[in-house]
Amino acid sequence: MPGTDRRVVVLNAGSSSLKFAAYPPDPEAPPLLSGAVDGIGNSAHLKIMDADGRVTHDIAVSASDPHAAMAILAGLKDGPLAGDLAAFGHRIVHGGPDLDRSVVVDEATLARIEAVSPLAPLHNPPALDVLKGLQKRFPRVPHVACFDTAFHRGHPAVADRFAIPDSLYQEGVRRYGFHGLSYQYIAGAMQTKAPEIAGGKVVAAHLGSGASMCALMDGHSIDSSMGFTALDGLPMGTRSGSLDAGVILWLQQQKGWSVDRVEHFLYHDCGLQGLSGLSNDIRVLLASDAPLAKMAVDYFVYHIARTAGALAVSMGGIDGLVFTAGIGEHSVPIRARVLARLRWLGFDVDETANQRGQGRITASSSRLRAYIIPTDEERVIARETIGLLSGRWLTVC
């Protein structure tokens, strides 16, 4: 029987952060602790909270990459990697054409993830570095990989394909969609937090430094703003969003840019940062009087509203809208401005509710309903990990 500290540790690695949570073998229980190492590679900072939300660690650390951040966590006697480790669950952004569900990690799985890592250069490589590092430190603890692309794999062909030869589609060049773990959580959470729209046609907006939107019909993804890579769709903090492919050809042919330079440009120098020339942080842009900062915010709002309309077409209608993730959950003005642009569809914002920042934020007279639902990708990973491993390595409470 597992001890009282038996835990499943969830890890969500990015290029500059490592989020984590340790759960008991019941995925619906509160996490034993949670937190993140942010600012990796620059001014890294570790914050850990216990099950009651109390901060137990709030310190500067030295971490050059996510693997180094993982090593710091491993050295904490009261950190997420202490105690009786039952399993690790990992967010893997891109699963490619073959990995269409969560899987127990083996050598073949690792090879498949590595093969598609060039399609998610900011996310897959650091996640793999953390996973492999943990395998060396804890060789007997199993790992589960949970893919952001998996939730979107049931899209109809017209939403799944590009207008390119079928031979390339068969090689895996298709629209995958991302933030699937977030949308999977939102689809389930709507059952209790927004039951009036849960079984209908809903546009979910995951708005953060990375941003996308998803068309949900009865809780199932049927279309997404992101495509082959996490560059597509909405403008993001530093990523371009949708871009005419001819721009890439022009940069290479007329300016002589190399492939590596183009890749760095699209992932790091575009989006809100590129438009404003000031910051990739929406809070900074909203507070600025600079004309380009104002334009960047307008552009962001415009494309969120435009994409909501397009996804409504994908579903043949719309019953509601859900805001989630960092900007979606916390930015009062962005939500208000998006709903103002969508008022013609039937969204009438309740300013008081929007300021309160939770639950339904449209007026009682509004024909359509909008909600704020905080996402919880880590809990989805815990559910998937425990579901796959129960009966093998875990005794579920």
150-204 confidence digits (pLDDT tens): 999 999 999 999 999 999 999 999 999 999 999 999 999 999 999 999 999 999 9
Q: For the segment 215-237, what is each residue's pLDDT rounded down to a tens digit?
A: 999 999 999 999 999 999 999 99
Catalytic residues: 148
Please count the structural domains in the chain: 2
Residue closest to 311 by CA, chosen among 222, 234, 240: 222
- The pTM of the full predicted model, rounded to 2 decimals, is 0.92
Which residue segment(s) compose the domain that 228 sits in? Answer: 195-372
Judgement on whether residues 210 and 322 belong to the same structural domain of the protein: yes
- The pLDDT of 364-389, averaged and rounded, is 96
Per-residue pLDDT for 240 more than 80?
yes
| Boundary residue ending a domain (85, 115, 147) | 147
Predicted confidence band at 300 (pLDDT cuts at 50, 70, 90)? very high
Predicted confidence band at 81 (pLDDT cuts at 50, 70, 90)? very high
In a domain, 256, yes or no: yes
Tell me the average pLDDT of the chain: 93
Strands ordered across the beta sheet of 220-224: 220-224, 211-217, 201-207, 320-324, 369-372, 359-360
CB atoms within 10 A of CB 76: 14
Q: Which residue has the tokens 């996308």?
A: 212
Judgement on whether residues 113 and 203 belong to the same structural domain of the protein: no
- The pLDDT of 251-269, averaged and rounded, is 97
Residue closest to 206 by CA, chosen among 93, 125, 292: 93
Q: Which three-class secondary structure state does DSSP give residue 226?
A: coil
Judgement on whether residues 212 and 318 belong to the same structural domain of the protein: yes
In a domain, 264, yes or no: yes
In a domain, 155, yes or no: no
In a domain, 393, yes or no: no
Domain of 355, CATH number, reads 3.30.420.40
Judgement on whether residues 342 and 222 belong to the same structural domain of the protein: yes
Judgement on whether residues 216 and 103 belong to the same structural domain of the protein: no
In a domain, 154, yes or no: no
In a domain, 23, yes or no: yes
Judgement on whether residues 268 and 199 belong to the same structural domain of the protein: yes
Judgement on whether residues 76 and 12 belong to the same structural domain of the protein: yes
Judgement on whether residues 124 and 199 belong to the same structural domain of the protein: no
Judgement on whether residues 121 and 245 belong to the same structural domain of the protein: no
Q: Can you list the alpha helix ranges (DSSP code H) found in 152-255?
A: 157-160, 166-170, 180-193, 195-198, 245-253
Predicted confidence band at 14 (pLDDT cuts at 50, 70, 90)? confident
Residue 137: partners with Cβ closer than 8 Å, 6 or more residues away: 74, 81
- The pLDDT of 89-112, averaged and rounded, is 94
How far, in Å, CA of 130 to CA of 67, rounded?
Answer: 5
How far, in Å, CA of 177 to CA of 314, rounded?
Answer: 14
In a domain, 37, yes or no: yes
Q: For the segment 311-329, what is each residue's pLDDT rounded down to a tens digit?
A: 999 999 999 999 999 999 9
| Boundary residue ending a domain (112, 147, 182) | 147
> What backbone phi and psi angles, to 5 degrees, belong to 130?
-65, -45
